[in-house]
C-alpha cells in the first residue's frame, strides 16, 4: 500500500458526472462529454496537502477504543488508483451487458450487514453487527424540523420529465439546504452524486458514491456542498463545501457488490455552520410491504450536462441545480432485488444518493437513498435502497461514536 505522498501522484479523477442509472448509461456520447467537462482534477501538490490536512483531522481518533470496532488494515483510495465513482460503476456494468448483482450468494445476512469505516488517513475498520443496538424503538431518528409539507410536485426519465427545479431563494431553507451534491474538489462547479444530511455531520448517499467494487477504492478526496445552487459564483448558497473525513458502507456492498446494500455514509468535519442546516429523519418500516403505495419525494442533483425540462437555463441543461420529483412506492420487485424500493419519480445520472423520503409524523423521513434506474431489476421503475433495521441501527450508533460539538442527534 502506497503512502499518502505516493498516493498523491495518482491524481483524483472522481469529478465527473455522477450517475446512476438508466440503460443508456454507457460512457459514450453525451456521458463521455459530461465526464470530460466535469473532471476538475487536483494537481499533485494540492492533493498531497489536502490528504495531509484530512489525515491530521482524524489522527487522534481511535475507533478501537469504541465498542465493536475491529481493525482491517489500510484501505485503497481513489488517490491511489484511477477510480471513478457514481455513474462509472453502473456504466461499466451496462457496457458488459450485465446488471449489478451480488458477486456470490454465500454472504450471510449478519456478515453483509456489518459496517465498514474508512478514515481520511486510510485506516479501515469493521463494526460488528452484534455491537449495534437492535431495539426497534431506538431506530427511529426524527428530522430536525417539522415545519409543514412545503414540497412541490425522479437515473431514468419515465415518460415526460416531471422534475421541477427548486426556486432560487429556497436553497438556504430547510430541507433544500440539507440536501447537497458530492464534489471532487472544493471549487468544483458540479458534483458526481447527491446526498442528504441525516445528522449534524453525517450524510447519507448511495454506496457506489463512496466505494467502487471494481477498483476496490474508496472515494477520496470528496466534499459535500449543501444546497449547491448551479455552476455560477453564487453556487455555494450555504457556504463553501464541507470536508469529508470518514466514509462508510456495508460488507454486503464492499465485499459482495450487492445492490441490496448499496448505501453509504459520509462523516463531515464538525462545524457549527453545518449543524445549523438541519437534517432529515430516517427509520425502517417492517414488514417492507407497509411502504407499498406510500408517497415519496426525491431532492436531487441530476448531471449538470443533461437536459431538464424545468431548467432555469436557456440551454435547458440541468446545470447543477437541485430538482424535486414525487411518486409512490411499489415494493413488488424481483427476488434478486428484495431490498430495492421501486418508484416512477424522474431521475438522471447524478441523482444517486438523493434522499427518497416520505412525509410522516409531521416531518420528512428518508426511506432510502436513490441508487438505480430503469435498466436494473425492474423495467420502467427507478429504485431506492431501503433502509433496513441493521442499517438504521448502524446510523444511530454513529451519532454516539462520532458526536457533534454543535448539535445533539439521537434516535428513539
More confidently predicted of 266 and 109: 266
**pTM greater than the 0.85 cutoff:** yes
Mean pLDDT over residues 271-299, rounded?
Answer: 92
Model confidence at 41: pLDDT above 70: no
Model confidence at 297: pLDDT above 90: yes
Q: Tell me, what's the pLDDT at 1?
A: 34
Instruction: Determine the Cα–Cα distance for residues 12 and 80; give it in Å rounded to an integer.
Output: 8
pLDDT band at 330 (very low <50, low <70, confident <90, very high): confident
Mean pLDDT over residues 206-223, rounded?
Answer: 93
pLDDT band at 136 (very low <50, low <70, confident <90, very high): low
* Contact predicate 41/11, CB 8 Å: yes
CATH number of 4-401: 2.40.10.10
Of 315, 320, 308, 47, the closest CA to residue 189 belongs to 320
From residue 13, how far is each of 7, 155, 195 by CA, in Å? 13, 21, 19
pLDDT band at 28 (very low <50, low <70, confident <90, very high): very low
User: Which tens digits make up the pLDDT trace of 216-273?
Assistant: 999 988 999 999 999 999 999 999 999 999 999 999 999 999 999 999 999 999 999 9
Mean pLDDT over residues 191-219, rounded?
Answer: 95
**Secondary structure (H, E, C), the chain:** CCCHHHHCCCCCCCCCCCCCCCCCCCCCCHHHHHHHHHCCCCCHHHHHHHHHHHHHHHCCCCHHHCCCEEEEEECCECCCCCCCCCHHHHHHHHHCCCCCCCCCCCCCHHHHCCEEEEECCCEEEEECHHHCCCCHHHCCECCCCCCCCCCCCCCCCCCCCCCEECCHHHHHCCCHHHEEEEECCCCCCCCCEEEEECCCCEEEEEHHHCEECCCCEECCCCEEEECECCCCCCCECCCCCEEEEEEEEEHHHHCCCCHHHCEEEEEECCCHHHHCCCCCEECCCCCHHHHCCCEEEEEECCCCCCECCCCCCCCCECCCCCEEEEEECECCCCCCCCCEEEECCCCCCCCCCCEEEEEECCEEEEEEEEEECCCCCCCCCEEEECCCHHHHHHHHHHHHHCCCCCCCCCCC
Run of H or E residues at 38: helix 30-38
Q: 358 has which bridge partners?
A: 365
Which of 78-82, 146-150, 214-218, 327-331 shows the lowest mean pLDDT across its residues?
Answer: 146-150
Tell me whether the omega of the peptide bond preceding residue 140 falls within 30 degrees of 0, making it cis: no
User: Which tens digits make up the pLDDT trace of 51-69?
Assistant: 899 999 999 999 999 999 9
Which of 86-95, 164-173, 221-230 shows the lowest mean pLDDT across its residues?
Answer: 86-95
Amino acid at each position: 500500500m502506497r503512502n499518502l505522498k505516493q498516493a498523491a501522484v495518482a491524481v483524483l479523477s472522481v469529478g465527473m458526472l455522477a450517475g446512476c442509472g438508466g440503460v443508456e448509461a454507457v460512457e459514450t456520447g453525451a456521458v463521455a462529454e459530461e465526464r470530460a467537462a466535469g473532471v476538475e482534477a487536483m494537481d499533485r501538490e494540492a492533493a498531497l496537502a489536502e490528504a495531509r490536512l484530512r489525515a491530521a483531522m482524524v489522527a487522534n481518533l481511535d475507533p478501537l477504543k469504541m465498542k465493536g470496532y475491529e481493525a482491517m488494515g489500510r484501505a485503497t483510495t481513489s488517490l491511489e488508483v484511477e477510480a471513478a465513482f457514481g455513474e462509472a460503476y453502473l456504466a461499466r456494468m451496462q457496457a458488459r451487458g450485465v446488471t449489478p448483482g451480488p458477486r456470490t450468494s454465500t454472504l450471510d445476512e449478519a456478515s453483509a450487514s456489518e459496517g465498514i469505516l474508512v478514515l481520511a488517513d486510510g485506516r479501515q475498520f469493521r463494526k460488528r453487527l452484534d455491537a449495534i443496538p437492535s431495539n426497534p424503538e431506538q431506530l427511529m431518528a426524527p428530522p430536525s424540523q417539522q415545519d409543514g409539507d412545503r414540497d412541490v410536485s425522479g437515473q431514468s426519465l419515465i415518460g415526460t420529465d416531471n422534475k421541477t427545479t427548486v426556486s432560487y431563494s429556497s436553497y438556504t431553507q430547510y430541507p433544500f439546504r440539507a440536501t447537497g451534491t458530492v464534489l471532487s474538489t472544493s471549487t468544483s462547479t458540479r458534483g458526481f452524486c447527491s446526498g442528504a444530511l441525516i445528522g449534524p455531520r453525517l450524510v447519507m448517499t448511495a454506496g457506489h458514491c463512496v466505494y467502487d467494487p471494481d477498483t476496490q477504492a474508496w472515494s477520496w478526496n470528496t466534499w459535500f456542498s449543501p444546497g449547491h445552487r448551479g455552476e455560477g459564483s453564487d453556487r455555494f448558497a450555504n457556504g463553501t463545501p464541507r470536508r469529508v473525513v470518514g466514509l462508510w458502507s456495508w460488507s454486503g456492498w464492499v465485499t459482495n457488490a450487492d445492490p441490496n446494500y448499496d448505501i453509504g455514509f459520509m462523516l463531515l468535519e464538525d462545524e457549527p455552520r453545518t449543524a445549523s442546516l438541519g437534517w432529515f429523519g430516517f427509520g425502517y418500516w417492517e414488514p417492507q410491504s407497509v411502504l407499498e403505495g406510500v408517497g415519496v419525494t426525491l431532492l436531487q442533483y441530476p448531471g449538470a450536462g443533461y437536459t431538464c425540462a424545468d431548467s432555469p437555463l436557456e440551454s435547458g441543461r440541468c446545470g447543477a441545480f437541485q430538482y424535486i420529483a414525487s411518486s409512490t412506492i411499489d415494493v413488488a420487485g424481483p427476488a434478486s432485488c428484495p431490498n430495492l424500493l421501486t418508484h416512477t419519480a424522474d431521475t438522471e445520472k447524478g441523482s444517486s444518493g438523493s434522499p427518497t423520503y416520505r412525509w410522516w409524523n409531521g416531518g420528512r423521513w428518508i426511506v432510502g437513498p436513490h441508487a438505480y434506474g430503469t435498466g436494473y431489476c425492474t423495467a420502467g421503475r427507478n429504485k431506492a435502497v431501503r433502509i433496513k433495521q441493521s442499517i438504521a441501527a448502524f446510523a444511530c450508533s454513529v451519532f454516539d461514536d462520532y458526536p457533534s460539538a454543535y448539535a445533539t442527534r439521537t434516535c428513539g
